[in-house]
Structure formats: structure tokens, C-alpha cells
Chain A
């Protein structure tokens, strides 16, 4: 069965090698698309197997856990791989229009596929050190993509990105070493058992080290600096895939470790997470309100919304965790799409700076409509996906009488509307400062198709989840069940030795 698990990691690697060999030829972009399609198929296969048969574990090299490396897919992992594949495909299509030959020759497609492989690996591994390896793969591939083409602004952002992320990686590695020293194991399921018999106070100290390390990755308050410093600089395809996926690996790791391994001291960790959630939501949304660039606004909103996901983890009720999972998947689709739209607005309108662009509502109505869907979804308006995500978390907060955090979540939603209307007002409603009438018609038909298929597809998903939320909700509820009662996960991994 383990090839179901290995396939989603292997496919992008194969695509990366093929794309590397084919760089300099136009075929590279099609390798990305074929690879992304195959990746999506493998992800769908994985989701259907996990949905049908429950948590799936595979031992690499057939060494039994905890001695070898285990790949595991529960609903959370499979769902994250699925949404990664969706974004992977959408951005690969978008890249047809967005990535020029210069970047392709520099190896864009190879880096892109390695990034997707790294993200997928992080979601599927059941081994803490292996997770660290995937973090490194992601970090190096994302750094390559970030500085690809190398203008000064990119390099400046890239240095901040890589410096802070390296610090996080070092913390992570140190944490792995300490935890191994304390428990003698690296397998996450095994860790869940081993941590029961060790010094719980020390375990909390180590847990906090992981919280900080993953907190940097997830871009929570006060560790998010690298994100707004860098996400507005690279190619739009790159910032879209970053915006969608990278921070979510951090959130995923937080959820995984703090439900499976570090669930021993909830009285200490959960209040911390709750504060982090609230402050992340607030500082992120205020950061966005102060910006005047399309992508910078969106970047700060990533931070703000990571807060919602952390909120779900902090409350740790079934509804809250389901809400966090739902939020993760909704957010990835919506946020990546907004960055893609920013790219089109830049392409036809000439800038992402709010004061230098405009008039798209009048002359590019389709793009305007496609913007409204993710924008209002992000702000949590019904009947779009973001409404359910927000509803679940607000309800979960009120269920446990956490009035203040519910209020914060709602007010931050309101400020999100403010930012979205700021973009809408400046980019779409206000006439173009140079009197131009930017239109999608001015694009080459092939480019237009690539743009619209990717953006339209993601917007369609947003609407679909909004109108028919039950399937994703059921999926998230099962995910929450598995996370809150890790017995099944541990059995799936360690079945043979327990």
C-alpha cells in the first residue's frame, strides 16, 4: 500500500528532473503541467483510499517503525496533499502566461517541482527528522524561486527570508536533537507513546522550542517578519504558491505535533497558542490596513489568517480543530488565487501599487468578478468558503465561552473586508491614473486562457465549497476526530510492534 503514499512525493521529483534536463526548451512548462496533473491524480487516489480505509501508513524500505522512516496519511495529511496538488496544477497553468523564457532557462520548472515535492513530503512523513529534511528541501527550493531572476528587491527580500527561516530550521533541528535525547525515537507515533514516560516539565520546554520553530514557518506573531519582507518580490506564480502553501506547512506541523506529541500540558500550551492566535490575527490585519501595494496587503493577510488556524488548534475542541482544517484548505485556495489575480492586474494594469493602477472594473469585468469571489471569501462573507471557515471557528469559540477571541475573530473579519475593498476601490473602481482602459482583451489569447483557467478554476472551487460545504466539512470533522484521538494514527504506524 505504501506506493500510494510515495507516489505524490515521487511524481514531482521525476517532473523536476525532467524539467531540469529540458530547461532551455519550451517543453519544460508542459512537463510541469503533466507532472502537476499526475500529482493531482495521485493525491485524489490517496484521498479516496484514506477516506475509504482510514489512516494509511507505509514503511519506507520496509524497515518497521520506528526504525525506518514512515509515511502516514490521515485525513489532514491527505487533504493537505490534495490541496497542494490543486494549487500546484493551477499555478503550473498560470505559469504558462506568467513565467518568461529567461526564468525558465534559469531552471524555474525544476525548482517549482522540487518545492511541490518538499511540501508534499512534509505533509506525508511520519518521522520528525524526515520532516526536518522536507523543510530544508522546501526552504532551498523556495529560496531559489524567490531570488530567481535576481533583481535587487528580490535579493533583499530573499536574504531576510532565508536568514529567518534558517534560524527556524536550526531551532527545529536542535529541538529534534533534544527530543531524541529525551525519548530515543524520531517516529512521531512512537514519540506520542514515548513522551508519556518522560519528565513532563522538560517536555514542555522542548515543546515550546518547536512552537517557536514552527511559529516562524507559520508566520505567527511575533515571528512573521520574513513573510511581508519577501512575498511581494518574486514572480506572481511564485508568490501565489508560497502564499498558498509555505506557511501552511508550519501550521500543519504545529497541528500535528501539538495534537500527537505535545498534548501533555494543555494548561500551558493552549493559552499560549490562544494569545498567539489573537495577536497574529490583529497585527496581521492591521499590517494589511497600512499597506498600499496589492501584494503587500495580501501578504499581511496571510499572517492575519494564520491566526484563525492557530485559534482552531488553541481551542482544541472537535469543532475547532475541524474548523482549523477547513480553514487551512479554504485559505490555500483563496489566497493563492488572490496573488494570481494580482499578477493579471499587474500585467494589464501596469502595476501592483494601488495608486498606479485602476479602471479594471470598467474594462475588465470578468477579472473584477473573479476578484470578488476570493476577496469576499477571504473576508468571510457567505455563501463563500471563507464564511464556513470563520463560522466554525467563531462558533467553536462561543461554544466554550471564549467571548473575547470570538469578538477578535469577527472584528478581524471586518477589517479584512476593509482591506479587500481598499484593493477593490483602487484597482477596480477608481479610473486608471493614466486614463488607460486595461482589458483582458489586450492579452494574447493563449495567455488569457492560461490566466482564466487557473483563476477561474480556483474561484469555482471557492464557490463550490461555499455552496456545498458538507463534503469538505465531513472530511475536516473526520480529520479532527483522528487528530484529537491519535490512537488510530499510532496503531496505523506502529501496528506491528505494539
Chain B
């Protein structure tokens, strides 16, 4: 045994045991609820949470929820124990445990939630923890890519599901699951189809149904205990759980049947073919997980007692053997330094416990008697006879997928142990520490014992689950090893025979599938192209909009103003030119000319000083306007400010180079004319109506009598609207402060 395997190696201490104990305690608690749930009771707990959204922290445990809860906590024990040894001395083991525990609790929350929005909350939490765990080997670009891909695909599905959940809430007036299930279902509702599509989009992405399957094999970048727990036994079944949970409300339509049957069958068959293609044992297992998810989906497409009984049974069967096999592949990796199926062989003697557990699990996976896997498969085949439509298609898909499972089981769990090695192994094979094989071995033994005594599974899990889905425990079929010679048994025989044949031919078949696979369209390969395209689009858009040129920003801003004002102007015909306006007298005309001259100077000159002077002309002209309208004090203020600005800016400008003369496009002139016209037309329209003099009258009246000031403008400034003046004083002070800071800062920065 290596030093790393001794139980007191530095690093992890006993912290890794706490999650094991927690999982065990949860498992025991769920187990203790078994009898109550089996008796048809649903346990509920609800605490108000967001009452104005009608949301409660509501949890319910019925047969389906309990089946999942037992699976999550039970597999959790084995996985957490394994991880404690597998990741011994890992630098970030603490974080690993935190993520794993967070995941387990989120997953439990997901299956126990009695409200769709609450379910979604946990759903997303599993997505986040999955993201962090897939990226656990964060130094590697491959891990990071896989983590992002999983997050993106399941995240997209999650959002679809959220929309679906909201629509369910709109359709039924509540997002409570128990209320939904107690109702008449949604199949007749006008929103049924959008709801179904959105919910299935969530379920199919999470449970990796074709064509959203590609993230799952990549998720194998995570440490193997993570793959065993999240990406095989539990999290990827969240989508299946969702479909099962909503089965009573959404199933029974043609769309439901065809969507689930086709997606499930295609996923199952395609995945089992691709499983055979893999030489990495872990990848092979990842594809068999896809096969299982496809099969579960296929079974959920139907509403017959057989199909749903098979669903419940296969759910447990798969969790038991698949979690075990993943952990055992980790042991092989740990013991030999490789997971390459073409190299591995002859490990039976060096790794006896691993070999035993692998053998039992593989037999269950292959669906041989007396394992629980056999019963699951028999039920599937029995269901084929009762399938509502197209039994041939369903049957053929199942037989093919299951036969391939037989072959893959042999490749994964028979060949590495009992056939001669295909080449030199990187390390001398040695057995893993006890904690790494004990869990899988218990799971494997369970698969055997439960196969021989299926009544336990029947009463604890299968019948209550069928009750949850079909709302009638009597629909549950009996789990038994021997059901007589019937179609199911014959199909089983065919499956095993075909499976063995495929195993014998698996090397040439593997090469053939690999060639086809590489030549065909690959979603994973297109993932990078998709991201590149997205970035390309984003970059193009940003280059066009945010191009760094102030002039273009200004043009777009003014164009927006023009369009925004012109549109309602045209719609409502706001363009009356007031006839009551007096013609301007010569003083007014002169001032207008002066302003125009100032503006012309600003536009045409290439000297900054001249431009500033031009602006000064405009400012002074405005002061003249104040003077002829009888407000000399305002005019004085304006003149003062104007002079100061011109002097200050001119001083600053002395440091800058001349402007390079540039030709301004005619569109600028058009834009300026357009904005000017629109604003002027608006002004005319405003002037066309008599002005409301309430405020003016009040000021004229109150200035002297109440505010004790003769100059109305001054009274307005310092009394009626003193807060404005205060604000403006602050503006001037801050402007001075900023100017000083800017000049000093630039000088200091230049040094």
C-alpha cells in the first residue's frame, strides 16, 4: 500500500469524514420515513418565504421524492468516503468538501421542494456547484472549458424551465407543486404547449438528452467522485426528476409521448454506440450514463404501469451500479496510473476487492439474473408489449441499447481484471485503500441482494414512486426474478446474446464507430465555433457602436434626439408657426446676427483661441438679450462668467496644439439643421399657447410683501429658489477645485 493510502497521511485529517457522517445520518432519516411514505402519506413542511409572490419554503416527501432522497444520501455516503481517500492531501480538499456538501444539500432541496420556484432555486444551486466541481482542476484549460460548457448548457435550460414555471404559475395561479398535482393537469390549457416546451428544454439539457448531451462527457474533467455523484447518479437525473414530478400534470398527450420517446430512444442508442467507441473507461461510463438517462426519459414518455414501474426500478438499479463503477474506475486509475481500456488487464489478483465489486456491478449493468438490473430490464421489456404506440420502435431501441450495455459492462469491468494486459502499465497495480472499495462493494452487494429480495425495493421505493407518477399504487407491477417464459425473457436472451457478440467484436466495431463519429457533425466541436461566433458578433457590434470617436458619439446622440422628437411631431402634427409673433426689431436682429457670426467662427476656424473667442461672442450676445429684456443684473452675471470662461479656457488652450483642419461632412450640417429645426418648432408650438403666469404673478406679489426684496430676480435667486442657488454655488466651487486638481495633477503626473 502506498504511503498516501495510510489513514493518517497529512492533509485531510478527519474533516473528510464529516460529510460521510452527514450523508449517513440523512440516509438513515429518509429510511426511517419509508414506512410512512409507503403507506401513501405525503410529508409536508411549509414556512412562509415571499408571501407577496405566493412563495413558501415548502417541502414535501412522497414516493418519488423519497426515492431520489434515498439515492442522493445513500450514494453520497459511498462517494464521500471514497473522496476522503481519493483526494488525500489535495491542496483544496476543504473547498472540495464544501462544494460537495453544498451540492448534496441543494440536490436534496431540489427533490424535496414543493414549489416550482423553490425547485428552480435548488436547480440553479446544483448548476453552480457542478460548475465549481467540474472546474476543480482549474489550472487546466480543458477543465475550465468543460465547466463553462456545462454551466452554459444547463444554465440555458434552467432559464427555459424558469419561464415554464412562471407560465405554470400564470396558468394555474400558483407555483405550488402539490396544488398543481392535485389539479386537473395542464394538458387542456392554452399555455400547455409553451409550458411543455420550456419545461422539457430545462429537463433535456440538465439530463443531457440529445442534442444537448455533449456537455456531459466533457464534465468528466471533474475528479472521479464528482463524476460518480453529480454527473451520473444524481444531478443529471434532476431533469428526469422534473419530468417525473410533472408527469401527472403534463403527460398523456401525443406531444409528450413523442418528445420523450424520440429524445430518449435516440439518446439511449446513440450514447451506447458512442460508449463502445471510448477507450478511456471513464468516458465509456459517461456515455453509458447518457444511455441510462435516455432510457429513463423513454420510459417516462409512457403512462403504463409497466413503463413507470420499470422507470422506478431502473432509476435505483442505475444509481447503484453506475456510482460503484465510476468509483472503481477511480481505483483502477489510482492503482495503475491509467484508465485506458486497451492497456488495462490482469488486475484481478492485484485488486481483488475492486475486481469483485466491479464484477457484481457489471452483471447488474448487463442485466443478468439474479441482479436488480435484470428485473429492471425485464420490466422495460414487459412495458414494450403495453406501449401505446410503436412498440417495435421502443422495443428495438431498448434491445439495442441494452445489448450495447452488456458489451460495455464487459469492457469496463471484465476485461481489465481478467484478460491479459494490452501493454505495459504506468504503475505496478495495487489495491486501493479500504475506503475506496468499501463503498462500491456495498453498492454492488446491494444490487445483488435487492435482486434476490426485490420486495424491499418494491415497497420502499418502486410502488410509492409509481403512486406519485400515476397517482395509483395499484398500477405498480410486481418486481420478480422469474415471471415465466414470456416475451420479456426472450428479449432478454436476445439482448445478452447480442451483447456478447458485440463484446467479441468490440475492437473492430470501435474503430468503425470512431471513424463515423469523427466524420460526422459534432456539437462539441461546434461549441467553440459557437462561442467564437458570439464573440465575433459582440466585437463587431462594439466596434461599430463604441468606436472611440467622440464625434461619432455626438452625432448618434443628436440623431437620436432628432428622431425622438420628430416622430411624435409628425404623428401629432405639431408644427404650427405662431402668427402672433412680432417681427424682430433691428436690435434683436443685430443680436441674432452676432450670435450667428460667433457660431460661424467656432465652426470654421482651426484656431482654438479663435473658437473660444467665437463662443465668447455668443455669450455676450446672450447677455445683450438679458439687457434688452430688462434684467441688467443677470446680464452682468452672464458677462462676468463669460469673460472668466474665455480667459480661463484660453489659458488652458495655449498649451494645446492647433487643431488639424478637417472637412466636416455635410451630414453634420444636416443633423445640426434638423435638431435646430425640431427644437425651434417645439418652441413655436409652446409659444402658440398663452403662458400660465401663476408663478410670475406670485413672485411679483410676494417679493416685496413677504420676502422684503424689490428686485424680483434677486429674491427668486436668494429666497424663493435659494436651494438652486446653493447648488450652483457648489458647482462653481467644485469646478474651481477640479480645475486646480487637474492642473496640479497633470503637472505632478508629468514629473
Contacts and interface: CB of A to CB of B under 8 A. Distances in A.
Interface of A: 13, 20, 60-61, 63, 66-69, 102, 106-107, 110-111, 114, 117-118, 121, 125, 129-130, 133-134, 136-137, 140-141, 143-144, 147-151, 155, 159-160, 163-164, 167-168, 171, 174, 178, 181-186, 194, 198-202, 204-209, 211-212, 215-216, 222-223, 225-226, 228-229, 265, 268, 272, 283, 286-291, 300, 361-362, 365, 376, 381-383, 387-388, 391, 394-395, 398-399, 406-407, 410-411, 413-415, 417-418, 421, 425, 428-431, 469-470, 473-474, 477
A202 B170 contact: no
Contacts of A204: 568, 571-572
A21 to B, nearest CB: 12
Contact of A383 (B121, B163, B546, B724): B121
Majority SS at the chain B contact face: helix
Contacts of A216: 557
A208 B566 CA distance: 9
B648 interface: no
A189 B159 CA distance: 41
B51 interface: yes
A338 B572 CA distance: 45
B691 A184 contact: yes
A268 B699 CA distance: 36
Interface of B: 49-53, 91-92, 95, 117, 120-121, 124-125, 128, 131, 135, 138-139, 141, 144, 147-148, 151-152, 155-156, 159-160, 162-163, 166-167, 169-170, 534-535, 537-539, 541-542, 545-546, 548, 550, 553-554, 556-558, 560-561, 564-565, 567-569, 571-574, 679, 682-683, 685-687, 689, 691-696, 698-699, 702, 719-724, 727-728, 730-731, 734-735, 737-738, 740-742, 744-746, 748-749
A69 B730 contact: no
B731 A181 contact: no
Contacts of B537: 286
A159 B549 CA distance: 11
Contact of B561 (A171, A289, A469): A171
Contacts of A20: 737
A477 B724 contact: no
Nearest to A150: B745
Contact of B698 (A67, A137, A202, A425): A67
Nearest to A121: B727
Nearest to B531: A418
Nearest to B534: A289
B163 A111 contact: no
Contacts of B156: 414
Contacts of A431: 139
B166 A63 contact: no
The 4 closest A-B pairs by CB, nearest first: A184-B692, A201-B572, A144-B738, A150-B745
A481 B737 CA distance: 42
8 contacts: A147-B741, A155-B746, A164-B554, A183-B692, A287-B538, A361-B138, A421-B148, A425-B144
B159 A133 contact: no
A417 B151 contact: yes
A389 to B, nearest CB: 13
A148 B744 CA distance: 9
A261 to B, nearest CB: 15
Contacts of B131: 421
Contacts of B741: 106-107, 111, 144, 147-148, 150
B748 A129 contact: no
B737 A111 contact: yes
Given A20-B737, A211-B564, A286-B538, A185 B50 contact: no
Nearest to B160: A410
Contacts of A290: 535, 538-539, 541-542
Given A194-B692, A229-B546, A289 B170 contact: no
A410 B159 contact: yes
Contacts of B720: 61, 63, 67-69
Nearest to B48: A470
Given A201-B571, A414-B155, A69 B724 contact: yes
A388 B568 CA distance: 36
A433 B147 CA distance: 21
Contact of B746 (A150, A206, A381, A399): A150
B291 to A, nearest CB: 28
Nearest to A415: B534
Given A186-B695, A428-B138, 19 more contacts: A63-B719, A107-B741, A140-B734, A184-B693, A205-B572, A209-B564, A225-B546, A229-B548, A287-B538, A289-B538, A290-B535, A391-B53, A399-B170, A414-B152, A417-B152, A429-B144, A431-B139, A473-B50, A477-B52
A202 B565 contact: no
Contacts of B721: 68-69, 129-130
A133 B723 CA distance: 9
Given A137-B734, A212-B561, A421-B151, A205 B159 contact: no
B560 A223 contact: yes
Nearest to A407: B163
A136 B726 CA distance: 12
Contacts of B567: 208
A394 B161 CA distance: 12
Contacts of B160: 410
A62 to B, nearest CB: 10
B702 A67 contact: yes
A287 B535 CA distance: 9
Contact of A140 (B534, B683, B686, B731): B731
Contacts of A144: 734-735, 737-738, 741-742
A203 B148 CA distance: 50
A381 B124 contact: yes
B730 A67 contact: no
A114 B731 CA distance: 9
